[in-house]
Amino acid sequence: MASPSLYWLRNDLRLTDNAALTAAAAQGPVIFLHVLDDETPGAWRLGGAARWWLHKSLEALSATVPLILRPGAADKVIAEVLTESGAASVHFTRDYAPWSGGLERRVKAAADAAGASCHRYGGFLLHEPESIRNGSGEPYRVYTPFSKACFAAGEPRALKPVPQFTVFDGKLKSDSLADWGLLPTRPDWANGMAAHWTPGEAGAAARLKNFIADGLAHYADERDRPDRDVTSRLSPYLRSGEISPGQCWHAVRAAQLAAGGKLDRAAEKFLKEVLWREFSYHLLHHWPTLPEKPFRPEFAEFPWNENPQALKQWQKGRTGYPIVDAGLRELWVTGIMHNRVRMIAASFLIKDLLIPWQEGERWFWDTLVDADIGSNSASWQWVAGCGADAAPYFRIFNPVLQGEKFDPAGAYVRKWLPELAAMPDEFVHRPWEAPALVLKAAGVELGKNYPHPVVDHGTARDRALAAFKEIKGAA
């Protein structure tokens, strides 16, 4: 009888296209171990929405395979399970968070000490960060040449089917999922998320299929429209590995091929967005301080305006700027926010309120179901103007014009701000300009059921530009 092999589940909560599981299954009966490790990531332990997602995802997976669930530092837990089970090998998918390299080395040491072999596989990304380099052998700092290098590297490897496996039938103790307290204790907190999402591998596959059938054809032209349901909404599934980027890539390529040229522009655009995810992880891998420190060091001196009250108003979606508030409310209810609105809301926090980008990053970390250490930090730095290949700081979004451009009939705003539902289109993105009679007819009482703007955008813009001039090397 072959010795068992230990498969350590991380951000790869799926059976399909899973190199680590495939290899573990080939060696012997598989132990499916998931560790709730709140120790190793320290301040970056999973946020509230991601914990809800993890619970649901593990619940879905445990309907297919028996999971061993244990809390603690992953290397210590793995050492224990190796001793208890006599497993001859450990298999896991590589992770790229700043703390993961050290953890993976400790897991290898634990395996060595137990006389087990240790194997690490790719799959969370399309390309290992070390494999994409510029002509001088350096990591890329600019997205466009990075993405060209990824396209030039060829199509991602072929997908792996669900492997044949047997499950280890020895006795190993396991927590029950409910013991982990991943679900919110106040019962109503996650209702909106439950209505919007089906975490798990099957949910991911269904989402990809629907996107290809309904969204992809409109993706290139309408992906910036929060009032349209066009983007894939695959990000939380990619984040926890219920689907691999390779599965998304190949499915879109297959649809493109089948459409005989009709989907070319849409497919290219989508694949380029998937490569923004790759680029974020490429940056994180090479600059592991990305979640905390500005990529452009001169921004460390930026004269921020700590303002806890304004931060609270922003978090609650009560800034008085409808497109910003709608985004923050969508986030609170569903655990997601449309990409265009993320950019507008982030710009508002950083530039109109002058609040450090790290505060917004933290809020997103706690509230997003796709909270992702690579994409979140790289995107916040991008908006703040302090990241690699970032939007220039002085390009400051006007939240009214952005709203009118990307949500022209105000459908998105009305959906998330029911208090503005009866506002006429002309004023839905600028209610403070509406005549008293119009406000009255729409049932809007500024300062009562909807706030006055927390700042005047024109004044705030001038203040932001003046603050920017104070830092050395600003350009």
Please identify, among the stretches 92-100, 235-243, 257-265, 388-396, the one whose residues bind ligand FAD according to the rule CB under 6 A: 235-243
**273 an active-site residue?**
yes
> Which lies closer to ligand FAD via its Cβ, residue 68 or residue 378?
378
Q: Which of 39, 222, 273, 419 is catalytic?
A: 273
**180 an active-site residue?**
no
Q: Does 17 participate in binding ligand FAD (rule CB under 6 A)?
A: no
**359 an active-site residue?**
no
- Annotate each residue in 164-203 with x if it binds ligand FAD (CB under 6 A) or - if it does not, as one string: ----------------------------------------
- Annotate each residue in 250-289 with x if it binds ligand FAD (CB under 6 A) or - if it does not, as one string: -----------------------xx-xx--x---------
Q: Exactly one of 20, 78, 217, 371 binds ligand FAD (CB under 6 A); which one?
A: 371
Q: Does 334 participate in binding ligand FAD (rule CB under 6 A)?
A: no
**357 an active-site residue?**
yes
Please identify, among the stretches 68-76, 87-95, 378-386, 395-403, the one whose residues bind ligand FAD according to the rule CB under 6 A: 378-386
**134 an active-site residue?**
no
Q: Exactly one of 5, 16, 232, 244 binds ligand FAD (CB under 6 A); which one?
A: 232
User: Which distant-in-sequence residues (6+ apart) come within 8 Å of 209 by Cβ?
Assistant: none
**339 an active-site residue?**
yes
- Annotate each residue in 391-410 with x if it binds ligand FAD (CB under 6 A) or - if it does not, as one string: --------------------
Q: Which of 287, 365, 380, 382 is catalytic?
A: 380
> Which lies closer to ligand FAD via its Cβ, residue 108 or residue 285?
285
Q: Does 380 participate in binding ligand FAD (rule CB under 6 A)?
A: yes
Q: Does 244 participate in binding ligand FAD (rule CB under 6 A)?
A: no
Please identify, among the stretches 34-42, 167-175, 338-346, 419-427, the one whose residues bind ligand FAD according to the rule CB under 6 A: 338-346
Annotate the chain with three-state secondary structure: CCCCEEEEECCCCCCCCCHHHHHHHHHCCEEEEEEECCCCCHHHCCCHHHHHHHHHHHHHHHCCCCEEEEECCHHHHHHHHHHHHCCCEEEEECCCCCCHHHHHHHHHHHHHHHCCEEEEECCCCCCCHHHCCCCCCCCCCCHHHHHHHHHHCCCCCCCCCCCCCCECCCCCCCCCHHHHCCCCCCHHHHHHHHHHCCCCHHHHHHHHHHHHHHHHHHHHHHCCCCCCCCCCCCHHHHHCCCCCHHHHHHHHHHHHHHCCCCCHHHHHHHHHHHHHHHHHHHHHHHCCCCCCCCCCHHHHHCCCCCCHHHHHHHHHCCCCCHHHHHHHHHHHHHCCCCHHHHHHHHHHHHHHCCCCHHHHHHHHHHHCCCCCHHHHHHHHHHHHCCCCCCCCCCCCCCHHHHHHHHCCCCHHHHHHCHHHCCCCHHHHCCHHHCCHHHHHHHCCCECCCECCCCCCHHHHHHHHHHHHHCCCCCC
Count residues contacting ligand FAD (CB under 6 A)?
27
- Annotate each residue in 282-321 with x if it binds ligand FAD (CB under 6 A) or - if it does not, as one string: ----------------------------------------
Q: Does 224 participate in binding ligand FAD (rule CB under 6 A)?
A: no
The residues binding ligand FAD (CB under 6 A) are 223, 231-235, 238-239, 273-274, 276-277, 280, 339, 342-343, 346, 364, 368, 370-372, 375-376, 379-380, 383
Catalytic residues: 273, 276, 304, 339, 357, 380
